[in-house]
Structure 1
Amino acid sequence: HYYFFPGNLMPYIGLGLGTYYIDARTYMGIYYIEDEAWHFGLAPELGLSIPFGSSNAAFTANVKYNWAAKTKDTSGQSWIGVGVGFSYVF
């Protein structure tokens, strides 16, 4: 993550790079077609970290856009994820 400025509210941006394993099924009554493949992907992220006083712990909230490229046999996928949680910096 790249934090824009330290303080009580710390907005940040981030970028994930890697692979996704996607297993998709299309149901037609009792039958289905299954497509599964590994996809190259990117995940840009915007977030906000709110530290707890002078400790290394913080409350964190983010929005992440996940993009998985299409492969020879399967279509590409994209989705938006929203996360909240706690973080600790060592």
Structure 2
Amino acid sequence: MIKAEFGRITTISLEQSFMYNLDNYTPTRIALMKAKGGVLGTKLRPFLETLSQNQSIDMRRDSVIRSLRLYLGEKQQDLFEGKA
């Protein structure tokens, strides 16, 4: 519903625009997350390992979004409705 309304107002695909920008800023986000130490760095490490493996673009995007959620201190249920 939000995607349709956004497209109607702006004539831009919300999902394509988001994915393009996510891919564009991924290297910078990875560098920020690798620099983190302590408890947060430990929690981010599995996501960063997934990113370093040769994975599909969808898996890389998933890892970046999930690690960004941790980095920002957001609860998973608040970001991914219906997923635990």
TM-score, normalisation: structure 2: 0.22
The structure whose residues are more often strand, as a share, is 1
The structure whose residues are more often helix, as a share, is 2
Structure (1 or 2) with the larger CA radius of gyration: 1
TM-score, normalisation: structure 1: 0.21
